[in-house]
Amino acid sequence: MGDFDFAVIVNNLPFLWQGLQLSLLLTFLAVLGGIALGTLLALARLSGIKPLALAAAAYVNLIRSVPLILVIFWFYFLVPLAVGRPIGGFYSALIAFVMFEAAYYSEIMRAGIQSVKKGQVYAGQATGLGYWQIQRYIVLPQAFRNMIPILVTQGIILFQDTSLVFVVSLRDLMTVSSIVARTEGRLVEMYLFAALVYFVICFAGSLFVRRLQVRMAT
Amino acid sequence: MIEMQSVSKWYGDFKVLTDCTTQVDKGEVVVVCGPSGSGKSTLIKCVNGLEPVQEGRIVVDGAEVTARGAKLTQLRAKIGMVFQHFELYPHMSVRENLCLAQEKVLGRSRKEAESRAETLLTRVGMIDHIAKYPGQLSGGQQQRVAIARALAMDPIAMLFDEPTSALDPEMIKEVLDVMVELARDDGMTMMVVTHEMGFARKVADRVVFMDQGAIVEDRPTQEFFDAPSSERAKDFLSKILHH
């Protein structure tokens, strides 16, 4: 145990910081995109238009039955074929995360939308507001607010999942830590460090969620 | 103004409305009453198309609500509605509650909408609460705001769906007072589902009595109270008046 050398972390801090930035950026964009697409999927499922609802349900169930790593691979190889040129690991990973997370966010938003009383929709309709206006101004703000703790929790899971982007050779925190670990021969230190960073961020996130829940309960 | 002809409605196999025919003329106040589960609320929700009907016709201000492709949003904007559970938007202040549809549906500017909102809130005695959120108000106050919200659209008629049944007894009067004033001073066309027989006696021109989804009596107020013709109405009145 005497030969731990934590100087390796300090020496590689800028490199590690870049990795963390990529992880955070990917998480942030994927959460935004996932919630946006997930909300549309939820609206489609609840629309009462059969083909639309079925298509959305099929998408959500398909994605939720497939491992994330496979989806990342798919998009890494499929998107360039569809677009006609390579778009790089970052964008293909981002698209994969958005498409994947949207399935989970859609279930959350669906529950959120259903938590808004039917009377609220009636009230909007009775004043002559149209479907999209009712969703935009009345239903979604309430649905979103009711679901904030769960949306944040899903974001924390997403942050952990970004470590999978090593398969498309993106340099996120996990990948960068591995690179340092191998090149410097300091596996234990680096993996301990990476674990600590993930733990601190995720734990802070769950504390935040708990505080939100307490505040919302009062 | 409001005309219903042989309206029937089913929820699956269950028939909730059976062959309902009635009308509300301009300036008239019609009270709809009856035991719970008799279809009163469903009937009133059909008037502005919140609930679809399977048979019959409903015509409001010359436009057929029940027609295929009816322009429901335009029609609803002209008819105000007040709900049992108020249904104020909890994430918006009282001011925003009153302005939303004025701006998005009528295309009024924020300034116009706010000035209309202020006038109506003054009228229902809620102007001091304009910046508050619904959760900070009592039930009676919320319902008065809800009435102001409906009036802000300058409706040609108002529908009230059990406006006082979710209120504590001491708050019922403040809401009924607003409604009485609306009927008497403005000559507003009103269709009111309620158990408040005092209100009915005071301002209603006619009373529609429903039971098991059908309109059993539809008569001038005085006649209805003095000499209800059906056993069911007699029974209902004896239960509701003698306690």
Q: Does A136 contact chain B (CB < 8 Å)? A: no
- CB of A64 within 8 A of CB of A131? no
Closest Cα in chain B to A143: B91
Alpha-carbon dihedral of residues B192, B198, B202, B207, nearest 10 degrees?
50
**Burial of residue A180, with CB atoms counted within 10 A of its CB: 0-12 exposed, 13-18 middle, 19 or more buried:** buried
Examine the pLDDT at A66 and tell me if it is beyond 70.
Answer: yes
Structure tokens, B15? 């028939």
Alpha-carbon dihedral of residues B149, B150, B152, B158, nearest 10 degrees?
-160
pLDDT digits (tens, 9 = 90+) for A165-201: 888 888 999 999 999 999 988 888 899 999 999 999 9
ipTM of the prediction: 0.92
pTM of the model as a whole: 0.88
Strand partners, B192: B31, B160
Separation between Cα atoms, residue B144 and residue B176, nearest integer Å: 9
Examine the pLDDT at A204 and tell me if it is beyond 70.
Answer: yes
Is the alpha carbon torsion for A209, A210, A215, A217 positive or negative?
positive
Separation between Cα atoms, residue A35 and residue B75, nearest integer Å: 34
Is the alpha carbon torsion for A155, A156, A157, A162 positive or negative?
positive
Examine the pLDDT at A3 and tell me if it is beyond 80.
Answer: no
Examine the pLDDT at B63 and tell me if it is beyond 80.
Answer: yes
The one-letter amino acid at B41: S
Confidence of residue A218 (pLDDT cuts 50, 70, 90): low
Closest Cα in chain B to A131: B73
Residue in B60, B83, B87, B91 to test binding to A, most A beta-carbons within 10 Å: B87
- pLDDT the model gives residue B54: 93
Name all domains of chain A by residue range, CATH numbers in brackets.
Answer: 6-217 (1.10.3720.10)
Q: What is the mean pLDDT of chain A?
A: 91
Examine the pLDDT at B137 and tell me if it is beyond 60.
Answer: yes
Test A119 with B87 for CB contact under 8 angstroms.
yes
Cα–Cα nearest to B64, from B19, B4, B154: B4
pLDDT digits (tens, 9 = 90+) for B205-240: 999 999 999 999 999 999 999 988 899 999 999 888
Separation between Cα atoms, residue B75 and residue B55, nearest integer Å: 20
Examine the pLDDT at B120 and tell me if it is beyond 60.
Answer: yes
- CB of A27 within 8 A of CB of A159? yes
- pLDDT the model gives residue A1: 46
Q: Does B83 contact chain A (CB < 8 Å)? A: yes
Q: Does B71 contact chain A (CB < 8 Å)? A: no
Separation between Cα atoms, residue A35 and residue A107, nearest integer Å: 10
Determine the distance from the C-alpha atom of residue B58 to the mean position of all C-alpha atoms in its chain, rounded to a whole number.
Answer: 16
Separation between Cα atoms, residue B183 and residue B158, nearest integer Å: 10
Q: What is the DSSP string of chain A?
A: -TT--THHHHHTHHHHHHHHHHHHHHHHHHHHHHHHHHHHHHHHHTS--HHHHHHHHHHHHHHHTS-HHHHHHHHHHHHHHHHSS--HHHHHHHHHHHHHHHHHHHHHHHHHHHTS-HHHHHHHHHTT--HHHIIIIIIHHHHHHHHHHHHHHHHHHHHHHGGGGGGGT---HHHHHHHHHHHHT-HHHHHHHHHHHHHHHHHHHHHHHHHHHHHHH-
Between A117 and B68, name the one with better pLDDT. A117
Test B83 with A125 for CB contact under 8 angstroms.
no
- CB of B17 within 8 A of CB of B211? no
Rg of chain A in Å (alpha carbons): 21
Separation between Cα atoms, residue B41 and residue B33, nearest integer Å: 10
Separation between Cα atoms, residue A71 and residue A11, nearest integer Å: 35
Test A127 with B79 for CB contact under 8 angstroms.
no
Confidence of residue B37 (pLDDT cuts 50, 70, 90): confident
Residue A108, min C-alpha distance to chain B (Å):
20
- pLDDT the model gives residue A79: 82
pLDDT digits (tens, 9 = 90+) for B97-118: 999 999 999 999 999 999 999 9
- pLDDT the model gives residue B242: 65
Closest Cα in chain B to A138: B89
Cα–Cα nearest to B113, from B131, B130, B96: B96
Q: Does A48 contact chain B (CB < 8 Å)? A: no
pLDDT digits (tens, 9 = 90+) for B150-201: 999 999 999 999 999 999 999 999 999 999 999 999 999 999 999 999 999 9
- CB of B185 within 8 A of CB of B137? no
Residue in B91, B104, B145 to test binding to A, most A beta-carbons within 10 Å: B104
Cα–Cα nearest to B171, from B205, B204, B207, B126: B126
Average pLDDT score over residue span A132-137: 96
